[in-house]
Amino acid sequence: MPEIVTVQGEHILQLWQGAWIAALVTGVITWALIIGVPIWFRRRSDDEVPVQTRYNLPIEIFYTIFPVIMVIAFFSHTVRVQNVALEMVDDPDVVVEVVGQKWSWTFNYPDTEAAGGKNVFVSGTGEDIPQLVIPVDKTIEFDLYSPDVIHNFGIPAFAMRMDVVPGNDNAYQVTPTETGVFDGKCYELCGAYHSRMLFTVKVVTEAEYEAYLEKLAADPDHVSDEPVKGGVYSENLINHDEEGHE
Ligand SMILES: [Cu+2]
């Protein structure tokens, strides 16, 4: 497992580790019974048939009740962690509109306005992998939007990912606890260049974040009239096409 660097991801990691420990304990007991029984109760001589047991009520009650208890334990912990991981506060510190498009990512920063109230964004391609910059120790909301097919926005070091579904805008929030650069990618097989849908997330201090956005807002390549919903690459294609017709 990568080192987990979000508040929410810590809970997910603990659930994963706890589930593995419980499953391994169950596995060791089960394997011991499977392998042990034919050794302990084997037929030792032709004269002596081993004890034949049927209808052992205590054992039957045990192996009915105990798995039910295990399922309840797994289920309740899963629900508890899922509630933590999917909890949404009403006033996140930063909102990023994440667009998963064939075949890269676009990050709009709706909290920030460039001169004239314009939108600030970063968009990538398969060759030019985009970077998302967010501040540390803040609650970050990712609003997920797809103009084409289902993608999945995931960052292993955050222990979080979620489908980006056209027509059904998902969202999740994370609170990064450490600065650094982390890899992310599309986790839903979405087409020919799915494997190129990579991105990086750079978690920085709040001052660095403010400075970064200021720089973006001053760069014409990262400013648009409306939020960019389909990537710069496809927009350029459309523009070229329109110019060709004029
Ligand atoms: Cu994708």
CA distances (Å), 215 to each of 52, 182, 199, 210, 245, in order? 81, 22, 20, 9, 35
Question: Which pLDDT belongs to residue 228?
Answer: 92
- The residues near 221 (Cβ < 8 Å, ≥ 6 apart) are none
127 and 233 co-located in one domain: yes
CA distance 47 to 52: 15
CA distance 64 to 58: 10
Backbone angles phi, psi at 237, to 5 degrees: -60, -45
Is the residue at 188 inside a domain? yes
CB atoms within 10 A of CB 94: 20
| Residue 82 CA, ligand 1 centroid: distance in Å | 24
30 and 74 co-located in one domain: yes
Strand-pairing partners, residue 200, are 131, 183
Would you place residue 157 in the very low, low, confident or very high pLDDT band (cuts 50, 70, 90)? Answer: very high
Residues 98, 164: contact at Cβ < 8 Å? yes
| Residue 150 CA, ligand 1 centroid: distance in Å | 7
Question: Which pLDDT belongs to residue 126?
Answer: 84
Question: Which pLDDT belongs to residue 197?
Answer: 94
| Residue 103 CA, ligand 1 centroid: distance in Å | 6
Would you place residue 77 in the very low, low, confident or very high pLDDT band (cuts 50, 70, 90)? Answer: very high
169 and 62 co-located in one domain: no
The range of the structural domain enclosing residue 76 comes to 7-43+51-85
pLDDT(233) > 70: no
Would you place residue 238 in the very low, low, confident or very high pLDDT band (cuts 50, 70, 90)? Answer: very low
| Residue 231 CA, ligand 1 centroid: distance in Å | 13
Question: Which pLDDT belongs to residue 134?
Answer: 97
Q: What is the pLDDT of residues 186-199, one digit of tens each?
A: 999 999 999 999 99
Q: Indicate the Cα dihedral angle 160, 90, 203, 142, nearest 10°.
A: 50
232 and 120 co-located in one domain: yes
| Residue 192 CA, ligand 1 centroid: distance in Å | 9
| Residue 104 CA, ligand 1 centroid: distance in Å | 7
195 and 227 co-located in one domain: yes
Q: What is the mean pLDDT of residues 173-196?
A: 95
Is the residue at 2 inside a domain? no
| Helix spans in 41-174 (H) | 57-85
Q: What is the pLDDT of residues 14-44, one digit of tens each?
A: 999 999 999 999 999 999 999 999 998 888 8
| Residue 30 CA, ligand 1 centroid: distance in Å | 41
70 and 102 co-located in one domain: no
| Residue 51 CA, ligand 1 centroid: distance in Å | 61
| Residue 105 CA, ligand 1 centroid: distance in Å | 9
178 and 206 co-located in one domain: yes
| Residue 193 CA, ligand 1 centroid: distance in Å | 8
Residues 203, 136: contact at Cβ < 8 Å? yes
Would you place residue 94 in the very low, low, confident or very high pLDDT band (cuts 50, 70, 90)? Answer: very high
- The residues near 5 (Cβ < 8 Å, ≥ 6 apart) are 157, 158, 176, 177, 178, 180, 182, 203
Q: How many domains would you assign to the chain?
A: 2
| Residue 1 CA, ligand 1 centroid: distance in Å | 23
Q: What is the mean pLDDT of residues 108-115?
A: 92
